[in-house]
């Protein structure tokens, strides 16, 4: 029974349990990883990707009353090459889906997706042939923000949730710490929180 022996060794009283840190299991790059995930979480540059009325709320999130710059996300980029997070703001039609997927593929790793509003997350009231019933059929979504449309503070809460997720991210090897783009696409299974 090799599995049982492993569990005994792992839960030995002399082995300290470090919570989430132990799961990533890399001693050499642990501090660098913390530093990198902090840096990534506090400078999430969104992609300008407004599809419908949710984009109006997304714009007012950046404006002076709610001021997304307080969280380091004020720089909305018009090119996917410079963006970290894609905020899908609005209903995603079947015609737009390939475009969205291509723009997502053009974003450099590491990248995240926020599905903003009822329509992007599930189709909302548009339960018909023209609208994709949930953007996660096209791209892997990290955070869903409900609302029709979500108010700016609800979107900020979604971004804070994403920041928490980014900070919890643990690298498994040196490849996870890469700063350059890789060509292998990210799969849907990898997006578990």
Residue from 10, 18, 32, 160 in contact with other proteins (CB under 8 A): 160
Dihedrals φ, ψ of 152, to 5°? -55, -40
Check residue 148 for interaction with other proteins (CB under 8 A): yes
Residue from 153, 173, 182, 185 in contact with other proteins (CB under 8 A): 153
Would you call 103 exposed, middle or buried from its count of C-beta atoms within 10 A (0-12, 13-18, 19+)? middle
Q: Are 82 and 45 in contact (CB under 8 A)?
A: yes
Check residue 146 for interaction with other proteins (CB under 8 A): yes
The contact mask relative to other proteins for 105-134 (x = CB under 8 A, - = no) is -------------x--xxxxx-x------x
Of the candidate spans 83-91, 99-107, 147-155, 174-182, the one that interacts with other proteins by CB under 8 A turns out to be 147-155
Number of residues that bind other proteins (CB under 8 A): 34
Of the candidate spans 27-35, 42-50, 65-73, 78-86, the one that interacts with other proteins by CB under 8 A turns out to be 65-73
Dihedrals φ, ψ of 42, to 5°? -95, 10
Check residue 90 for interaction with other proteins (CB under 8 A): no
CA dist 38 and 117 (Å) reads 27
Taking the least distance from each CB to other proteins, the nearer of 26 and 119 is 119
């Amino acid at each position: 029974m090799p599995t049982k022996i492993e569990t005994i060794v792992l839960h030995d009283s002399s082995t300290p349990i470090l919570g989430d840190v132990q799961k990533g299991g890399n001693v050499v790059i642990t501090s660098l990883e913390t530093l990198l995930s902090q840096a990534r979480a506090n400078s999430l540059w969104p992609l300008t990707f407004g599809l419908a009325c949710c984009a109006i709320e997304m714009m007012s999130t950046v404006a002076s009353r709610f001021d997304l710059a307080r969280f380091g996300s004020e720089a909305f980029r018009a090119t996917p090459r410079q963006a970290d997070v894609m905020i899908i703001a609005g209903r995603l039609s079947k015609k737009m889906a390939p475009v969205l997927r291509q723009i997502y593929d053009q974003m450099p790793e590491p990248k995240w997706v926020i599905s903003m509003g009822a329509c992007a997350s599930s189709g909302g009231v548009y339960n018909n042939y023209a609208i994709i019933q949930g953007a996660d059929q096209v791209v892997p979504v990290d955070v869903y923000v409900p609302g029709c449309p979500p108010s700016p503070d609800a979107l900020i809460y979604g971004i804070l949730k994403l920041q928490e997720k980014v900070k919890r991210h643990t690298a498994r090897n040196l490849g996870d710490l890469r700063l350059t783009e890789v060509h292998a696409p990210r799969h849907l299974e990898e997006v578990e929180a």
